[in-house]
Chains A and B, each alone.
Chain A
Amino acid sequence: QVQLVESGGGVVQPGRSLRLSCAASGFTFSNYAMHWVRQAPGQGLEWVAFISYDGRDKFYKDSVKGRFTISRDNSKNTFYLQMNSLSAEDTAVYYCARDPRYCDSTTCSYYFDYWGQGNLVTVSS
């Protein structure tokens, strides 16, 4: 069965860095695009970043551009979110999610069919 297992969260001081990992199993990882999504305390879901199946295409939410980097290692069935210059506004539960994404002649379909269990990142001094 499809499993996405996140790790790497915790408490970190403002301005410091943290790397989240998401280990995938139960499917051919290299065929799927992947995303990071977060939910701050008391807030709604917020998309963070996207990486294509081969790692060539990456997109980011504006507020994390230049600070966060998404990457993947298809040989390890794992993808990552390197988070630098963290601030209190980055405090959230971070979810990794799988995207079966496909494109037709006019547009691409993006959706999240499997999610990890969530990993809490707390930025606090």
Chain B
Amino acid sequence: QSVLTQPPSVSAAPGQKVTISCSGSSSNIGNNYVSWYQHLPGTAPKLVIYDTYSRPSGIPDRISASKSDTSATLGITGLQTGDEADYYCGTWDSSLSTYVFGTGTRVSVL
């Protein structure tokens, strides 16, 4: 049972926007940096957001992130078929002294 909760799935038409929420607590999201990963089955996960808001080199600015109190959100605008994947939030949990991933969200392009 993950300590970070995400919706199981989100979907939208090509060109539209999706947002993925990640709900945690003060011991994780509330006081630590958040990162986000894109994962296609059978491949290595890919970092798309680090330090809560920053994009690695090569990640388009269609992908953005925000945080409020103990929740974080990933947004993808201008949705493309190549965005279809599972997305995971993650952060350090200071109470558990472990890294924790969210439950994961499947993004589908209609």
Q: Which residues on A are within 8 Å of B, measured CB to CB?
A: 35, 37, 44-47, 50, 59-62, 95, 106-113, 115-118
> CB-CB contacts of B47-81 with A at 8 A, as 1s and 0s?
10011000010000000000000000000000000
Tell me which of B44, B50, B102 contacts A95 (CB under 8 A): B44
10 contacts between A and B (CB under 8 A): A45-B37, A45-B104, A107-B92, A109-B33, A110-B33, A110-B92, A111-B35, A112-B47, A113-B47, A113-B56
Given A45-B37, A107-B33, A117-B44, residue A62 in contact with residue B2 (CB < 8 A): no
Q: Which residues from chain B contact A107 at a C-beta distance below 8 Å?
A: 31-33, 92, 94
- CB pair B50–A109 under 8 Å, yes or no, is yes
Q: Which residues from chain A contact B100 at a C-beta distance below 8 Å?
A: 47
- CB pair A62–B47 under 8 Å, yes or no, is no
Residue of A nearest to B91 (CB): A110
Tell me which of B31, B33, B97 contacts A59 (CB under 8 A): B97
- CB pair A111–B33 under 8 Å, yes or no, is yes
Q: Which residues from chain B contact A44 at a C-beta distance below 8 Å?
A: 2, 86, 88, 101-104
- CB pair A111–B98 under 8 Å, yes or no, is no
> CB-CB contacts of B23-51 with A at 8 A, as 1s and 0s?
00000000111010101000011110011
- CB pair A118–B44 under 8 Å, yes or no, is yes
- CB pair A115–B45 under 8 Å, yes or no, is yes
Give the Cβ gap from A6 to chain B, nearest Cβ, in Å.
10
- CB pair B45–A111 under 8 Å, yes or no, is no
Tell me which of B88, B91, B92 contacts A45 (CB under 8 A): B88
Residue of B nearest to A115 (CB): B44
Q: Which residues from chain B contact A115 at a C-beta distance below 8 Å?
A: 44-46
- A44 to B46, alpha carbons, bound, how many Å? 14
Closest 6 pairs between A and B when the two form their complex, measured CB to CB:
A111-B35, A115-B44, A44-B104, A47-B99, A111-B50, A45-B101
Q: Which residues from chain B contact A106 at a C-beta distance below 8 Å?
A: 31
Given A108-B92, A109-B51, A112-B45, residue A47 in contact with residue B101 (CB < 8 A): yes
Q: Which residues from chain A contact B51 at a C-beta distance below 8 Å?
A: 109, 111
Which of A35, A44, A113 counts the most chain B CB atoms within 10 A? A44
